[in-house]
A = this chain, B = another copy of it.
């Protein structure tokens, strides 16, 4: 999984994450931080709070603070996801 930071301040982090086919970001949570994913290309599954939701290009997905969430690339191509965290992780 590739990660790149586009913008960072104390208030906000914006990054780009790349998941190759089959790669996943296991369930985790961010206490006190809200997270938004914006799918730039590819497709996969958004795991949130015990459920799975399809994610594909153009979709916006939210993991509010403290809610366990993860991502899995279930497609045949790289999945690119814009990641927004507020406030930024230390």
Q: Which residues of A contact B (CB under 8 A)?
A: 6-7, 9, 11-12, 14, 32-34, 36, 38, 40, 58, 60, 62, 64-65, 82, 84, 86-87
Contacts and interface: CB of A to CB of B under 8 A. Distances in A.
A74 B33 CA distance: 36
A36 B64 contact: no
Number of copies of this kind of chain in the complex: 2
Contacts of A87: 11, 86-87
Contacts of A7: 34, 36, 60, 62
B60 A11 contact: no
A34 B60 contact: no
Given A6-B60, A62-B7, A87-B86, A12 B36 contact: yes
